[in-house]
């Protein structure tokens, strides 16, 4: 990756020339090894970081240079795969999209696992309950009747209707920012509702009633208390609370518009 440039920055700042000022930051990580620890605990790490680099780069530095046992998920490292959702400075974000300079680096930057899912080790949680809720809303096209011989045509307007909720990358930042989900792990959670919304409002799909019935459950959309934590946390900027409200209204009026 960009090792060469990083070293260049170190040299320029060391020689006092203008350039990107590297800084020493403290990353306070909530660590937990189920084989050794009785409970999670905070550990501080000092790393030099480029203020415009991501917090994921600092996690890499810690793992590669200081403590190889630090465990976290990441795949693409560019905000596409949704693997590295974590609670950074008290808010759910993707470590690969959170820049050091936006996190008040003068104070220790806290990094903890997302809340409400069982912690397996350090920053890794068991995502299975989250994916189960996703599967429960049938996140695939349900179409009855004659198969068209060519593609299923849709107007631009009909496509735009659910465009926002197609952006979900299933990182779980929304669901694990929801106070209702923390208190009641049975709640479907924002991500599952977003992915149901994506099909409920798709003009090509015939499964809207089926999905609405699933979300009419006691643990469905009615659990939403509109705290907007999900909307604030979404790294893709999906208007989640709005989508949930639309599903609520579709359930009341029994009309999908």
Partner 1 sequence: MASGAQGAKGTLYRGREGMWSWVAQRVTGVLLFFFLFAHVLDTALVRVSPHTYNQVIGTYKNPVVNLLEVGLVGAVMFHAFNGLRIIAVDFWSKGPKYQRQLLWVVVGLWAVLMLGFLEPMMQHTFHEWFGW
Min CB(248)–partner 1 separation in Å: 6
Toward partner 1, which CB reaches closer, 50 or 112?
Answer: 112
> Residues 6 or more apart from 146 whose CB is under 8 A from it?
none
CB of 48 vs partner 1, minimal distance in Å: 24
Query: Percent helix, strand, coil in the chain (nearest 5)?
Result: 35, 15, 50
**Closest CB 92 distance from partner 1, rounded Å:** 8
> What SS3 class is residue 169?
coil
CB-nearer residue toward partner 1: 73 or 204: 73
Q: How far is the CB of 4 from partner 1 (least distance, A)?
A: 36
Report in angstroms how near the CB of residue 147 gets to partner 1 at its nearest.
Answer: 35
Going by C-beta distance under 8 Å and a sequence separation of 6 or more, which residues neighbour residue 7? none
Q: Which of 124, 128, 98, 102 is nearest to 112 (CA)?
A: 124
Report helix, strand or coil for 163. coil
Q: Which residues bind partner 1 (CB under 8 A)?
A: 30, 32, 39-42, 87, 89-91, 110, 112-113, 115-120, 125-126, 177, 179, 182, 185, 225-229, 231-232, 239, 241-242, 245, 248-249
List of residues 6+ apart from 109 with CB closer than 8 A? 25, 26, 27, 28, 55, 58, 88, 89, 100, 103
Nearer CB in complex with partner 1: 30/74: 30
- Is the Cβ of residue 10 or residue 119 nearer to partner 1 in the bound state? 119
| 77 versus 191: smaller Cβ distance to partner 1 | 191
DSSP letters, 239-257, are -HHHHHHHHHHHHHH----
């Amino acid at each position: 990756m960009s090792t060469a440039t990083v070293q260049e920055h170190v040299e320029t700042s060391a020689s006092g020339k203008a350039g990107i000022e590297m800084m020493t930051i403290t990353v306070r990580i909530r660590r937990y090894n189920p084989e050794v620890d009785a409970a999670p605990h905070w550990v501080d790490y000092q790393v030099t970081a480029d203020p415009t680099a991501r917090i994921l780069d600092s996690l890499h530095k810690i793992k590669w240079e200081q403590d190889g046992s630090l465990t976290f998920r990441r795949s693409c490292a560019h905000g596409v795969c949704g693997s590295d959702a974590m609670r950074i400075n008290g808010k759910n974000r993707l470590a690969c999209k959170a820049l050091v300079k936006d996190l008040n680096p003068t104070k220790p930057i806290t990094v903890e696992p997302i809340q409400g899912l069982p912690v397996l080790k350090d920053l890794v949680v068991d995502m299975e309950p989250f994916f189960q809720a996703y599967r429960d809303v049938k996140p695939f096209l349900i179409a009855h009747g004659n198969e068209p011989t060519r593609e299923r045509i849709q107007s631009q307007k009909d496509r735009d209707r659910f465009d926002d909720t197609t952006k979900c990358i299933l990182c779980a930042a929304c669901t694990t920012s929801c106070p209702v989900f923390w208190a009641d792990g049975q709640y479907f959670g924002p991500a599952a509702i977003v992915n149901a919304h994506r099909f409920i409002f798709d003009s090509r799909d015939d499964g809207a009633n089926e999905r609405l019935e699933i979300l009419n459950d006691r643990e469905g959309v009615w659990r939403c208390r509109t705290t907007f934590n999900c909307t604030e946390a979404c790294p893709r900027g999906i208007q989640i609370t709005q989508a949930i409200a639309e599903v609520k209204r579709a359930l009341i009026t029994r009309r999908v518009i």
